[in-house]
Each structure stands twice: as structure tokens, then as C-alpha cells.
């Protein structure tokens, strides 16, 4: 393995900004060896550090699969080499914010994100519309620097740095945790897509692992929830303030799942996943906004723009082939769906159609195979709502930044 990759956490420690007040994370080769690394949510997870409002907190975090890979060894594989899906997502924390109490709002401002040297992207059954796209399973590596990412597996593409944390959250309260567990189990029992608690590779293992004191109660990090979590919002970059609910004493701030770049939708199932160092500050907001439906955020409008001077876009409306039942709603077992060629106000179907049209365009215009095009879409194409009122055909657009192509 490249020596730089092996010692990257140590090099980060040596290069930390002098103004960092608190530094946590980055110990050991794996999350299980780092006392400040967790990959589950629970109200009883012990705090890894304490910070006063206004203090700069620097977190040294791991990529979503807790992998340490070298692009000089290989660039592409049929599947991910991670140990198991249970390792997803390593986070740094929780951090106890002094003076914060249940009912407060925690304002977390992202001051700086320093990417690691290597990223990865995968296409798998976990993606949004791989069956409709016609994609194969694939895993690729990227070389990263402060400006752009390049991969030997997708030559001719250069993705600009748009670093952000996929996961940012506070810990749920005990009653909130119980309500979430109940509703997600009911959804699973009905056949819906959901990830119920799993003790494999769960951290902290003493609480969430197979022999843990709360085994079977710790929340997976896959979806976002009311307390934040895996929001995967690409606009949460440097200069943004995220407003999170404080549900327990000290809130319990945790951050992880660092992305170098991502399109709105993260359609293949991953972005450009990476290790990273992030520096944040916090403030306590009394009588803040209601966050019952999830966190709020604010920041410079420049983060909302696509990273390109030129673009190409496709559109989608909720049309389907007669007899087809879209995968995402098959669990509802509605006998009316199959024979309808048009569904009313179905944004998921409209987004799938816009995405398939974009995949077709990338393949025909640039010569990539469908899986390469799917992965390009995951890290660079934005799926955006066009309109929600023109029933039955709500609209979604897929926007491709053309400046990513170097040839």
C-alpha cells in the first residue's frame, strides 16, 4: 500500500490548523479501534469529547465503508471489498456540547473540509434505479486532490471538489428512538424498503454489537431522520450552518460519511466516498425553529449552483409500460397499478425516467457503458423537481454539468 495512504491520519494530525480547539477521531486502522468512531445511533452512546459553543472541533473521519485502498493497486472491481454492510457509516462522535439541553437547537457551522487522497464509488442493487438503467455492479477508485477527482475506470472525466459530510446528526432521545424503531419495523413487516437494527460490525460494540447491552435497539445510519443523519445533501459544504434538534443533554453531535462530490440523488448508491478532516463550530439556539420534519440549513447561494459553465438536461414524467409495477411501490400490492400506463404525481417514477434519458444521452454522446454513465450520474448529475402542480405529470429534470468532460 502507498505509504501516504497508510499514514494519512497521522499526516492530518501533523497538518491540523493551529486554531483547532478540539481534535477527535483518526485513531487505529479501523473504526472498531477508534474510541471516537461509531456507526449507529442510540441515546446511550457514551460521549467521545466535550466542547463549548464557539470552540473549533476538528474531526478526522473515515469513508463510508471504513476502507483503506490504493488506486495504484487497482482501479475497478466487480464489487466492493468492504467486510460487510454493517460497517456503514463510520462517524466521529458523539460530542457533548456544554450548556445544550433538550428542546434547544444546535447550530453547526462547517468551516473547513480537507479531503483524503482516495475516493471510491460503487454501483449496486442499493442504487436508485439500476434495474431501469440496466447497470451492472461495479466498484471504482478515484485519485483526489484539493481541486478535482479522476478515475482510471472512467477516463476523460474530471469531477470538481464539492466536499461535504453525508451524515450530520445529534443523538435521538429514548422516546424518539422507540418511536422510530416501531414505525420502521412496521414498514419492514409491510414489505417496505427499510434497514432495521443489525448488530454485525456495530459500533460501539459494547452497546450495539451482538453481545451489547442494547443489541437490536441501535439505529442504522442508512436513512435521515428527525435528528439528522444520512441526509446526503450536497449543499452542506464549507460556509453552511446546519440546524439540528437537541434531544438529550449535550446533544451528542456526530459527523461522518464524507463525500468529495455527489449529484443530487446519489443515484448509483454512493457518491465519491472518502476519508476527510472537517472543522466545525457550534452555537446553541434557544427557542429555535421547529425541526419536527428534519434539520434546516443556511449558507451562501453559490453552493446551490452546478459546478460547470454549461449543462445538458433531460426531463421525466410518470409514464410506464403497461403491466409494469415500479419496484419502489410494489410492496403496496395495489392491483390498479399494473394496467396503468401513467401514474398520478409519482415523483420517483418521473425521476427514474429523467435519469434513464440522461444515461442514454451519456452513453450515446460520450461512449461510456451504461454502468460508467450511471456512476457519472451518481457523482455529478442533479435530479431536480421541475414542477409539482401539473397533474398527473409532475416533472423532474436531470442536469449534467458538461465541464466535467476533458475530452
Do the beta carbons of residue 267 and residue 377 sit within 8 Å?
yes
Q: What is the mean pLDDT of the chain?
A: 94
Do the beta carbons of residue 326 and residue 346 sit within 8 Å?
yes
For residue 324, report the phi and psi dihedrals to the nearest 5 degrees. Answer: -85, 140
**Nearest of 87, 13, 94, 22 to residue 55 by alpha carbon:** 22
Residue with cell 439541553: 101
pLDDT (0 to 100) of residue 26:
94
Summarize the confidence of residues 34-57 as an average pLDDT: 98
Per-residue pLDDT at 404 exceeds 70: yes
Residue 82: band (very low, low, confident or very high) from pLDDT cuts 50, 70, 90:
confident
**Nearest of 178, 179, 221 to residue 198 by alpha carbon:** 221
Do the beta carbons of residue 258 and residue 274 sit within 8 Å?
yes
**Distance (Å, whole) CA 61 – CA 12:** 11
β-bridge mates for residue 242, sequence order: 108, 297
pLDDT (0 to 100) of residue 20:
67
pLDDT (0 to 100) of residue 292:
92
Map out the domains of the chain with their CATH numbers: 3-304 (2.60.120.580), 311-404 (3.10.28.20)
Q: What confidence tens digit (pLDDT) does each residue in 12-40 have?
A: 444 544 466 999 999 999 999 999 999 99
pLDDT (0 to 100) of residue 4:
44
Per-residue pLDDT at 396 exceeds 70: yes
Helix axes 347-366, 370-380, angle to 10 degrees: 120
Task: Tell me what percent of the residues of the chain surpass a pLDDT of 70.
Answer: 95
pLDDT (0 to 100) of residue 7:
47
Residue with cell 463525500: 259
Q: Residues 6 or more apart from 286 whose CB is under 8 A from it?
A: 104, 105
Q: Residues 6 or more apart from 48 whose CB is under 8 A from it?
A: 24, 35, 36, 38, 92, 93, 94, 95
**Distance (Å, whole) CA 201 – CA 210:** 9
Q: What confidence tens digit (pLDDT) does each residue in 280-332 have?
A: 999 999 999 999 999 999 999 999 999 999 999 999 999 999 899 998 899 99
Residue 79: band (very low, low, confident or very high) from pLDDT cuts 50, 70, 90:
confident
Q: What confidence tens digit (pLDDT) does each residue in 139-192 have?
A: 999 999 999 999 999 999 999 999 999 999 999 999 999 999 999 999 999 999
Q: Is the pTM of this model over 0.85?
A: yes
**Nearest of 84, 111, 82, 252 to residue 168 by alpha carbon:** 252
Q: DSSP for 194-236?
A: ------TT-SSHHHHSTTSTTTTTSBPSSSEETTEEE---TT-
pLDDT (0 to 100) of residue 2:
53
Per-residue pLDDT at 345 exceeds 50: yes
Do the beta carbons of residue 36 and residue 49 sit within 8 Å?
yes
Residue with cell 478532516: 277
Report residue 211 as a C-alpha cell: 453481545
Q: Residue 379: in which H helix or E strand, if any?
A: helix 370-380
**Nearest of 183, 210, 209 to residue 194 by alpha carbon:** 183
**Distance (Å, whole) CA 3 – CA 11:** 11
Residue 83: band (very low, low, confident or very high) from pLDDT cuts 50, 70, 90:
confident
**Distance (Å, whole) CA 38 – CA 48:** 10
**Distance (Å, whole) CA 280 – CA 165:** 11
Q: What confidence tens digit (pLDDT) does each residue in 188-221 have?
A: 999 999 999 999 999 999 999 999 999 999 999 9
**Distance (Å, whole) CA 19 – CA 98:** 19
Residue with cell 449535550: 250
Length reported for the chain: 407
Summarize the confidence of residues 83-108 as an average pLDDT: 95
Residue 405 has what DSSP assignment? B
Per-residue pLDDT at 126 exceeds 90: no
- Give the up-direction half-sphere exposure of residue 38: CA atoms within 13 A in the CB hemisphere: 34
**Distance (Å, whole) CA 217 – CA 210:** 11
Report residue 93 as a C-alpha cell: 462522535
Per-residue pLDDT at 90 exceeds 50: yes
Residue 186 has what DSSP assignment? H
pLDDT (0 to 100) of residue 19:
65
Helix (H, G, I), strand (E, B) or coil at 15: coil
Amino acid at each position: 500500500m502507498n505509504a501516504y495512504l497508510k499514514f494519512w491520519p497521522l499526516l492530518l494530525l501533523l497538518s491540523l490548523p493551529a486554531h483547532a480547539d478540539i481534535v477527535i477521531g483518526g485513531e487505529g486502522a479501523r473504526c472498531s479501534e477508534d474510541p471516537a468512531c461509531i456507526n449507529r445511533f442510540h441515546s446511550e452512546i457514551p460521549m467521545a469529547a466535550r466542547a463549548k459553543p464557539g470552540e473549533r472541533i476538528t474531526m478526522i473521519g473515515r469513508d463510508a465503508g471504513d476502507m483503506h485502498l490504493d488506486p495504484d493497486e487497482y482501479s475497478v472491481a466487480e464489487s466492493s471489498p468492504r467486510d460487510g454492510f454493517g460497517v456503514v457509516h463510520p462517524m466521529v462522535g458523539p460530542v457533548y456540547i456544554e450548556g445544550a439541553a433538550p428542546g434547544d437547537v444546535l447550530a453547526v457551522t462547517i468551516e473547513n473540509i480537507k479531503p483524503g487522497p482516495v475516493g471510491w464509488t460503487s454501483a449496486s442493487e442499493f442504487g436508485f434505479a439500476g434495474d431501469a438503467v440496466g447497470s451492472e455492479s461495479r466498484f471504482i477508485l478515484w485519485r483526489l486532490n484539493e481541486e478535482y477527482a479522476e478515475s482510471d475506470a472512467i477516463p476523460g472525466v474530471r469531477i470538481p471538489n464539492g466536499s461535504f459530510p453525508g451524515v450530520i446528526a445529534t443523538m435521538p432521545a429514548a422516546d424518539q428512538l422507540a418511536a422510530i424503531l416501531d414505525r420502521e419495523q412496521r414498514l419492514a413487516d409491510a414489505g417496505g424498503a427499510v434497514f432495521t437494527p443489525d448488530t454485525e460490525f456495530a459500533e460501539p460494540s459494547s452497546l450495539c454489537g451482538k453481545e451489547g447491552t442494547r443489541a437490536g435497539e441501535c439505529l442504522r445510519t442508512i436513512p435521515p431522520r428527525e435528528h439528522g443523519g444520512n441526509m446526503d445533501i450536497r449543499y452542506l459544504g464549507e460556509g453552511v450552518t446546519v440546524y439540528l434538534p437537541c434531544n438529550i443533554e449535550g446533544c451528542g453531535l456526530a459527523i461522518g460519511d464524507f463525500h468529495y462530490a455527489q449529484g443530487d440523488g446519489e443515484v448509483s448508491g454512493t457518491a465519491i466516498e472518502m476519508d476527510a478532516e472537517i472543522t466545525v463550530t457550534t452555537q446553541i439556539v434557544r427557542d429555535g425553529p421547529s425541526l419536527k420534519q428534519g434539520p434546516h440549513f443556511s449558507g451562501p447561494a453559490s453552493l446551490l449552483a452546478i459546478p460547470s459553465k454549461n449543462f445538458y438536461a433531460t426531463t421525466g414524467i410518470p409514464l410506464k409500460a403497461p403491466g409494469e409495477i415500479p419496484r419502489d411501490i410494489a410492496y403496496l400490492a395495489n392491483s390498479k397499478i399494473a394496467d396503468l400506463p401513467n401514474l398520478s404525481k409519482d415523483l420517483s417514477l418521473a425521476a427514474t425516467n429523467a435519469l434513464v434519458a440522461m444515461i442514454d444521452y451519456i452513453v450515446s454522446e460520450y461512449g461510456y457503458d451504461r454502468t460508467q454513465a450511471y456512476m457519472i450520474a451518481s457523482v455529478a448529475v442533479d435530479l431536480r423537481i421541475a414542477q409539482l402542480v401539473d397533474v398527473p405529470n409532475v416533472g423532474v429534470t436531470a442536469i449534467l454539468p458538461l465541464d466535467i468532460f476533458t475530452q
